Amino acid sequence: MRLLPLHMFMPFRADPLQQAAHRAYEHVVAQARQPGFFADVGVPDTVAGRFELICLHAFLYLHRLKREQPQAKKLGQRFFDAMFLDLDRSLREMGTGDLSVGREVRRMAEAFYGRIAAYEGGLADGEAALQAALARNLFGTAPTTMARRLAAMAAYVRGEVAQLDAHDPAALLAGEVAFGEPPRTLGAVEAK
C-alpha cells in the first residue's frame, strides 16, 4: 500500500499574500465606515459617498505600499482584486442584475484609477489641488463645498500619508494598516 503525501489532504493552504490583501482591505473598509466622515465632515452617507471613502483609504494604503518593492506589486494587485471582488458582491446584494455587474465594476475600477491620479496629483501639486480633488470626489454629490470641511479632509489626508510613511514595512506587507480618527469639523452645526 502506498501512502499519499500529507499535502494531498490539505488542498487549500493559506496564502499569506491573499490573507494580507484581505486584512488590509478590511482595515480600509473599517476606516471608510467611521461615522465621523459622514456626521462631522459631511461626506454624503450614500453608496457613492461610501465608495469614495473606500477609494480614498485604498489610495492611502497603496500610496504607501508602493515604496515596498518588489513585494508591493503582487500585494497591491491582490488588494485591488479583493476590493473589486467585494464591490462586485455588494452590487449583487443591492440587486444589480448579472448582466450589469461587470459593466458597473469596470466603471468603478476606472473611477478608482481616476481617484488615484487625482490624489497623487493633489499631494504633489499643493493644497489647492488636493482640496479640488477631494471636492470633486468626496463631496461631488453633496450640495456643499464648505472650505472648513475641505481643509479638514486635506489635513487628514496629509496626516495619514505622514503617519503611514512611518508605518513598519513588515506590518504593512502583512496587511496591518492603521488609520487615525476622522477629522472633526462641526459639520452638524455648519449644515444648519
Tell me the per-residue pLDDT of 98-134, one tens digit each, with 9 for 90 and over.
667 778 878 888 999 999 999 999 999 999 999 999 9
Q: What is the pLDDT of residue 75?
A: 94
Which grid cell sits at 131? Answer: 482640496
The answer to whether residues 180 and 31 touch, using CB atoms and an 8 Å cutoff, is: no
Which grid cell sits at 133? Answer: 480633488
Q: What is the DSSP letter of 40?
A: T
Interacting residues of 91 by C-beta distance below 8 A, sequence separation 6+: 101, 104, 105
Domain annotation covers residue 192: no
Residue type, 168: D
Domain annotation covers residue 91: yes
Domain annotation covers residue 1: no
Q: What is the pLDDT of residue 128?
A: 93
The answer to whether residues 50 and 38 touch, using CB atoms and an 8 Å cutoff, is: no
Structural domains counted in the chain? 1
Positions in the chain short of pLDDT 50? 1-2, 4, 6-10, 187-192
Look up the domain containing 25 and give its range: 18-178
Domain annotation covers residue 123: yes
Q: What is the DSSP letter of 15?
A: -
Q: Is 27 exposed, middle or buried (0-12, 13-18, 19+ CB in 10 A)?
A: middle
